[in-house]
A and B are shown apart, each in its own frame.
Chain A
Amino acid sequence: MSLPTPAPAPKGPATAAGERAAGATKPRSRIPFERLSRLGVLLAFIFFVAVFSIASPRFLTVDNFINVSRQISSNFIIACAMTFVIITAGIDLSVGSLVALSGVLMAGLTVNLGLPWPLGIVLTLIILAGVGSITGLAVSRQKLQPFVVTLAMMTAARGLALAYTNSEPIFITDKTVLAIGNGYIGPFPVPVVIALLVMVLAYIVLNRTKLGRYVFAVGGNEEAARISGINVANIKLFVYALSAALSALAGVIIAARLYSGNPTAGNGTELDVIAAVVIGGTSLFGGVGSIGGTLLGAFIVGIISNGLTIVNVPYYWQLVAKGLVIYVAMMIDKQTRGIREK
């Protein structure tokens, strides 16, 4: 018995359907357009590196590369989790506030309550994962819109951080804790090493485990996932808990770097993080995304700030430039999506 080939006869001349059929014969590709859009990101990355290298001799140096890596490490850690969230067709706006909440909580536990620092940090991560689970429950069980739920959490968590500290930073003096933000392991800043570990784990979970596969399935077709026996609610719960836990990890790093748990830390972080993920080719419609793309996206966001600072562009114009890059990334995403669907 044979399977219908894409029935070339009924299709019109040079229609997209024909192209789609041709695409079907390509072996092993999760989605061809995904690679295309990732290629676009890579080109954008190379473009920015080239432009800044020409503009300033101080840009393309090992020191500056390590500098940029450290600058983006905390956002990238959150972006790894955000990639999971967005692949399920969700969004998490609360990450910036959770950075503040976790920073002050860690500082409060270790400085005010005098807990040993490893315990303080672990407790912070666990408590924040619990906070993320609240978001996750609202999204998965009560079926509320992720945008609204996380907007609520964003507001509430910021308020909690401010209330807990009376809007004063809690200063950290423990040398080991401070090293988490400022130390080095060999030539590598500690935050960069942590970010690399997170990246490897996130990559493995997303691409090599059932859990990762189910994240893709839920974002690709929730109903199909449910009928295939996947507990869709638990998958959603997981991604929001993960998002909060990794926000907490970033929050600890940022607090250490700033020598204080600061209730205003992480303001606007959610926007840079979402920008990195989206620039990296993860679709806001769900079902498509990669950690590698997110890494490139985070680097692009990072080197724009860094490069523009080096060539003395004022901060306000840096924001405009970042906005433009996000816009262009969305255009590339739409164009490459168009290749698939129309």
Chain B
Amino acid sequence: MSDSSDVVVQLQNICKRFPGVQALRDVSVTIERGKVHALIGENGAGKSTLMKILAGLYRPEEGRIFLQGQEVVFKDARQALEMGISTIYQELLLCPNLTVAENIFLGREPTNGPFLSREVYARCQHELDRIGFTELRPTASVADLTVAQRQMVEIAKALALDSAVIIMDEPTSSLTPAEVQHLFKTIRQLKQQGKAIIFISHRIDEIFEIADHVTVLRDGELVGSRPIREVTYDDVVRMMVNRELAVSLSQRYEGREGEVLLEARDLTRAGAFENVSFTLRRGEVLGFAGLIGAGRTEVMRAIFGIDRLDSGQILVAGKEVTVQSPQQAIRLGLGMATEDRKDDGLFSALNVRENMTIAQLGLSSLTDALGFVRRDKEVEVTNRYVQSMDIRTPSIATPVISLSGGNQQKVILSRWLMTEPKVLILDEPTRGIDVGAKAEIHHLIRQLALEGHGVIVVSSELPELLAVSDHILVMREGLVTAHLTTADTNQEEIMIYATIKPSERTN
């Protein structure tokens, strides 16, 4: 530990219990000014709970919090904010219907007697100039901003409050690589200004890029807290999961070659993608690489009958089909886990069992002749999947929304596996889930291929695609720019096809 005058926050022996769970056990962390302190751990490790305690949302049962050497007890979030602790939540908390300035000054609007003052725009501009966010316009509507720009607004809000500590909860989870770099630039600038930044992330590589110090939590306990220079990537993974992750991703399908399960010929949807062709064989994992907006998701949605195709043919098991609805796609033996779990995957009001069997109900094996759901069968099959997929849930009647991201994703995967699809389309299957669950899902994808399924994986993480796919299709601005064999390619080559126009490519 360095000079004690640099210490901004000290959390001492924090304990927090929730009904049935010991969320935090005797955790102590020291945060210094001018440093980026990474806080990592699997979902459920307690990092969010710890940060919510620091942000004044929860009160610990035991332990003490010191701010600039003074012991503090926060009444509520407002008080923590006023004392200089700002939190930038993952689901950015902005009012999309208000302007940038209105959001930054929300709750402390400058007024002119009883009226709001137009001065807010000038003051906001001043504030933005001071912190160097010159491209944010105070008068722009937040609804019109990109996710990265909205994050900037949140950061500006924290800085306008002159917060000493800025907590960022998985700030990079919905940013493009370029946007992540911009964020890191901002974070480095905040460091220079002497702010203490607590950076919560799942992405270990990011932590090595930006953090000065890393604290690892597991099952509510502190596993270690060390300067980043003293640890390796593998150290961090080991601290996080405490179990061997080595799964064999190299095993390949050895059944009959050549049986085409799904073929796409010149699929076109105006404004989204053009002339997309590919084949998917039994036992094959086909990866789709490309930047966000390259049209990969749109292709999958069209194949699965969610969106309409303008032209092109889809062949399932060699026969041409027209897929006009997901219902039809399911009957044809397709399954699709969509990109956005919360928006188009989960039924947040329903429990684990109901979420898992929803697609299967339509295929009738869980219902009797009159259409009544056979509850005993439903329970049995759900339990089987909970066990085989190692879904960590208190019971199958638990609301799905209370599960961690990784377990939610496993529920969705179970939903589709239940329908026994020949072809499974997985769009960003590991987005926002932790290292352990991610490895399990990678393993599962390979296992499905070994069992003779065809799997399509759309992912923005190249290491993931390289790990699980047999072939990789690269898309750029709606066009297929390359069809690669995984064994013969690498990240750099894929990035070139994903980002650079053919005419501008050298070599």
CB distance from A28 to the nearest CB of B (A): 4
Q: Are A221 and B94 in contact (CB under 8 A)?
A: yes
Chain A residue nearest to B190 (CB atoms) is: A1
Mark the stretch among B29-37, B103-111, B224-232, B432-440 that contacts chain A: B103-111
A17: contacting residue among B96, B178, B293, CB under 8 A: B293
Query: What is the CA–CA distance of A99 and B8 in the complex, to the nearest angstrom?
Result: 59
Mark the stretch among A18-26, A68-76, A256-264 that contacts chain B: A18-26
Query: What is the CA–CA distance of A193 and B46 in the complex, to the nearest angstrom?
Result: 61
Query: Given contacts A11-B293, A229-B78, are A4 and B146 in contact (CB under 8 A)?
Result: yes
Would you mind naming 12 contact pairs between A and B with Cβ atoms under 8 Å apart? A1-B185, A3-B182, A6-B149, A9-B291, A12-B271, A17-B146, A21-B144, A24-B145, A208-B115, A208-B116, A221-B96, A288-B97
List of A residues within 8 angstroms of B293 by Cβ: 10-12, 15, 17
Q: Are A224 and B94 in contact (CB under 8 A)?
A: yes
Mark the stretch among B133-141, B245-253, B355-363 that contacts chain A: B133-141
Chain A residue nearest to B272 (CB atoms) is: A12
Query: Given contacts A4-B178, A27-B140, are A12 and B295 in contact (CB under 8 A)?
Result: yes
Query: What is the CA–CA distance of A272 and B146 in the complex, to the nearest angstrom?
Result: 38
Q: Are B106 and A287 in contact (CB under 8 A)?
A: no
Query: What is the CA–CA distance of A24 and B136 in the complex, to the nearest angstrom?
Result: 9
Q: Are B98 and A5 in contact (CB under 8 A)?
A: no
Q: Are A24 and B176 in contact (CB under 8 A)?
A: no
B393 at the interface (CB under 8 A from A): no
List of B residues within 8 angstroms of A5 by Cβ: 135
Q: Are B135 and A217 in contact (CB under 8 A)?
A: no
List of B residues within 8 angstroms of A7 by Cβ: 146, 148, 176, 178-179
List of A residues within 8 angstroms of B107 by Cβ: 225, 228-230
Query: What is the CA–CA distance of A213 and B271 in the complex, to the nearest angstrom?
Result: 38
Chain A residue nearest to B154 (CB atoms) is: A224
B99 at the interface (CB under 8 A from A): yes
Q: Which of B122-155 contact A (CB under 8 A)?
A: 132-137, 139-141, 143-146, 148-149, 152
Q: Are B93 and A224 in contact (CB under 8 A)?
A: yes
B141: contacting residue among A14, A31, A212, A225, CB under 8 A: A31
Q: Which of A9, A21, A24 has the most CB of B within 10 A?
A: A24
Q: Which of A3, A5, A223 has the most CB of B within 10 A?
A: A3
Q: Are B95 and A3 in contact (CB under 8 A)?
A: no
List of A residues within 8 angstroms of B291 by Cβ: 9-10
Q: Are B178 and A9 in contact (CB under 8 A)?
A: yes
Chain B 170-184 per-residue mask, 1 if CB under 8 angstroms from chain A, else 0 = 000000101100110
CB distance from B212 to the nearest CB of A (A): 19
Chain A 208-229 per-residue mask, 1 if CB under 8 angstroms from chain B, else 0 = 1110110011011101110111
Query: What is the CA–CA distance of A12 and B176 in the complex, to the nearest angstrom?
Result: 13
Query: What is the CA–CA distance of A9 and B476 in the complex, to the nearest angstrom?
Result: 10
Q: Are B179 and A4 in contact (CB under 8 A)?
A: yes
B394 at the interface (CB under 8 A from A): no
Chain A residue nearest to B151 (CB atoms) is: A4
A32 at the interface (CB under 8 A from B): yes
Q: Which of A54-73 contact B (CB under 8 A)?
A: none
A29 at the interface (CB under 8 A from B): yes
CB distance from B271 to the nearest CB of A (A): 5
Q: Are A287 and B96 in contact (CB under 8 A)?
A: yes
Query: What is the CA–CA distance of A205 and B364 in the complex, to the nearest angstrom?
Result: 57
Query: What is the CA–CA distance of A24 and B149 in the complex, to the nearest angstrom?
Result: 10
Q: Are A1 and B186 in contact (CB under 8 A)?
A: yes
List of B residues within 8 angstroms of A213 by Cβ: 98, 102, 106, 109, 116
Q: Are A14 and B97 in contact (CB under 8 A)?
A: no
Query: Given contacts A1-B186, A3-B133, A13-B271, are A30 and B97 in contact (CB under 8 A)?
Result: yes
Query: Given contacts A29-B141, A209-B116, A213-B116, are A220 and B182 in contact (CB under 8 A)?
Result: no
Chain A residue nearest to B270 (CB atoms) is: A14
Query: Given contacts A12-B294, A221-B93, are A32 and B141 in contact (CB under 8 A)?
Result: yes
Given A7-B179, A26-B144; 14 other pairs, CB 8 A cutoff: A2-B134, A3-B134, A3-B152, A12-B271, A12-B294, A23-B141, A24-B144, A25-B137, A26-B140, A27-B140, A31-B97, A32-B144, A217-B95, A220-B96
Query: What is the CA–CA distance of A2 and B133 in the complex, to the nearest angstrom?
Result: 6
Query: What is the CA–CA distance of A11 and B295 in the complex, to the nearest angstrom?
Result: 9
List of A residues within 8 angstroms of B145 by Cβ: 6, 24
Query: Given contacts A4-B149, A12-B294, are A225 and B95 in contact (CB under 8 A)?
Result: yes
A10: contacting residue among B81, B93, B108, B178, CB under 8 A: B178
Query: What is the CA–CA distance of A9 and B43 in the complex, to the nearest angstrom?
Result: 33
CB distance from B355 to the nearest CB of A (A): 24
Query: What is the CA–CA distance of A225 and B93 in the complex, to the nearest angstrom?
Result: 8
Query: What is the CA–CA distance of A225 and B182 in the complex, to the nearest angstrom?
Result: 27
A322 at the interface (CB under 8 A from B): no
Query: What is the CA–CA distance of A227 and B108 in the complex, to the nearest angstrom?
Result: 12
Query: What is the CA–CA distance of A3 and B145 in the complex, to the nearest angstrom?
Result: 12
Q: Are A2 and B178 in contact (CB under 8 A)?
A: no
Q: Which of B487-507 contact A (CB under 8 A)?
A: 499
CB distance from A217 to the nearest CB of B (A): 5
CB distance from A19 to the nearest CB of B (A): 10
List of A residues within 8 angstroms of B183 by Cβ: 4
Q: Are A227 and B148 in contact (CB under 8 A)?
A: no
Query: What is the CA–CA distance of A51 and B166 in the complex, to the nearest angstrom?
Result: 60
List of A residues within 8 angstroms of B135 by Cβ: 2-5
A13: contacting residue among B98, B178, B292, B478, CB under 8 A: B478
B98: contacting residue among A209, A220, A223, CB under 8 A: A220
A229: contacting residue among B81, B132, B149, CB under 8 A: B81
Across the A-B interface, the 6 shortest Cβ-Cβ residue pairs: A220-B95, A228-B107, A3-B135, A287-B97, A224-B93, A4-B182
CB distance from A209 to the nearest CB of B (A): 6
Chain B residue nearest to A2 (CB atoms) is: B135
Q: Which of B93, B148, B272 has the most CB of A within 10 A?
A: B93
Query: What is the CA–CA distance of A10 and B189 in the complex, to the nearest angstrom?
Result: 25
Query: What is the CA–CA distance of A115 and B81 in the complex, to the nearest angstrom?
Result: 52
Q: Which of A30-51 contact B (CB under 8 A)?
A: 30-32
List of B residues within 8 angstroms of A23 by Cβ: 141, 144
Q: Which of A5, A12, A26 has the most CB of B within 10 A?
A: A12
Query: What is the CA–CA distance of A169 and B99 in the complex, to the nearest angstrom?
Result: 50
Chain B residue nearest to A218 (CB atoms) is: B95
List of A residues within 8 angstroms of B271 by Cβ: 12-15
Q: Are B144 and A20 in contact (CB under 8 A)?
A: yes
Chain A residue nearest to B476 (CB atoms) is: A12
Q: Are B146 and A21 in contact (CB under 8 A)?
A: yes
Q: Are A30 and B146 in contact (CB under 8 A)?
A: no
B306 at the interface (CB under 8 A from A): no
Query: What is the CA–CA distance of A3 and B178 in the complex, to the nearest angstrom?
Result: 11
Query: What is the CA–CA distance of A213 and B152 in the complex, to the nearest angstrom?
Result: 22
B332 at the interface (CB under 8 A from A): no
List of B residues within 8 angstroms of A223 by Cβ: 93
Query: What is the CA–CA distance of A32 and B139 in the complex, to the nearest angstrom?
Result: 12
List of B residues within 8 angstroms of A11 by Cβ: 292-293
Query: What is the CA–CA distance of A147 and B168 in the complex, to the nearest angstrom?
Result: 37
Query: Given contacts A4-B182, A12-B272, are A30 and B98 in contact (CB under 8 A)?
Result: yes
CB distance from B495 to the nearest CB of A (A): 12
